[in-house]
A and B are shown apart, each in its own frame.
Chain A
Amino acid sequence: MNNRLKTLAKGITDVSPLMIPVVPFGIIYGVIGMELGLSAYMTFGMSIIIFGGASQIVLLQLFSGGASSLIAITSVGAVNSRHLLYGAVFSEYLSHLKLIWKIILSYVLIDQAFAVSNSYFKKNKENEFKHYHLLGAGFTCWIIWQISTILGIVLGSVIPEELGLSFTISLTFLALLINDFRNFKNVIVMLVSGIVATIGYNTIPFQAYIIVAAISALLVATLLTLINLKKK
């Protein structure tokens, strides 16, 4: 097997364990999309066009609250700002590639693919085909996400609303933060965001509570970072 295929296969196997929680997440997304009355095409179309679980769920939540397009788009931008970090970290490994590679790899640069390819790149800097790792990991995520979205769309028409599955949105995002619970500063940032959003849910106009909460919490995060730097 040549090096390209080997690296591609390594990307696929490395990311596979991380796909286990992606499946229920995709199903939940599909079910909720249908429960909110979106068409199957739109629910699935979002998975193809946006391809980002958090962004898609935020969009659904704001849509159900009657937010305007501008607020929805800005909120999605805020949710996605973490990808700037991923791109900045990866530019070191990918800057020599042709533009077409950058265009393709950017589409699949999601949390899970970043996590596994970042650790692979660190250990295999000299592998000339290391970007195949991200290609394999990213498109594995893509395929799994599309399949679970379709499963959710199918299930969404049979699952009764009484089960309160919309609560799983909160639970899913909670689960994505479990590794940060142990860090005291992260917990402070989480509380600021959560409290501002809860109070602002009815008081901040235009459903802008996610943006306001995120900015307040990031200001606190900046302060915490600066205080920490001074100590050193």
Chain B
Amino acid sequence: MLWSTIIYCGIITYLTRFTMIFLLKKDILNDKTKKVLSYVPSAIFPAIIFPPIFVDNTGSLDFEGNPKILAAILAIIVGYISRSILATIFSGLISYWFLIFVYYQ
């Protein structure tokens, strides 16, 4: 990792926050654009979530007896019911630990 990469990323991050406040006199984004932008988290976060779960260290897809898949499904169910960020993270982590340290041992 280079410091320059971090600084460029910092500038990009800052600019995405600053541009609209600085440029717009009033709200000029139309409703359609706003609606599409509201999908951004749903469009990007799964790209971060999925590969570490489904792709193993050798780079091939891993579906059978994969503790991460089971733990993630459990976390989704807990998150859906509880709507709690903490409950989602910890239910997933604890079931993952149970699977790797107890069940698959």
When A and B form their complex, which 8 residue pairs have the shortest distance between CB atoms, in order from nearest?
A87-B20, A194-B46, A217-B43, A221-B39, A91-B24, A49-B10, A213-B47, A197-B47
What residue in chain B is nearest A172 (Cβ atoms)?
B89
Whether A198 pairs with B89 at a CB distance below 8 angstroms is no
A189→B93 CA distance, assembly (Å): 25
Could you give 10 example pairs across A and B, Cβ below 8 Å? A24-B86, A59-B5, A76-B9, A80-B17, A87-B18, A175-B79, A176-B85, A213-B43, A217-B42, A224-B39
Complex interface bits, A178-210 against B, C-beta within 8 A gives 1, otherwise 0: 111110011101111111111001100000011
Q: Does A158 contact B (CB under 8 A)?
A: no
Contacts A170-B50, A178-B80, A225-B36 aside, 9 further interface pairs with beta carbons under 8 A come to A38-B1, A77-B16, A84-B19, A84-B37, A85-B20, A87-B17, A105-B21, A174-B75, A226-B32
A129→B16 CA distance, assembly (Å): 24
What residue in chain A is nearest B84 (Cβ atoms)?
A178
Q: Does A58 contact B (CB under 8 A)?
A: yes
Whether B51 pairs with A69 at a CB distance below 8 angstroms is no
Per a CB cutoff under 8 Å, which of B41, B47, B68, B96 touches A176? B41
Per a CB cutoff under 8 Å, which of B18, B22, B37, B49 touches A81? B37
Whether A85 pairs with B44 at a CB distance below 8 angstroms is no
Whether B50 pairs with A198 at a CB distance below 8 angstroms is yes
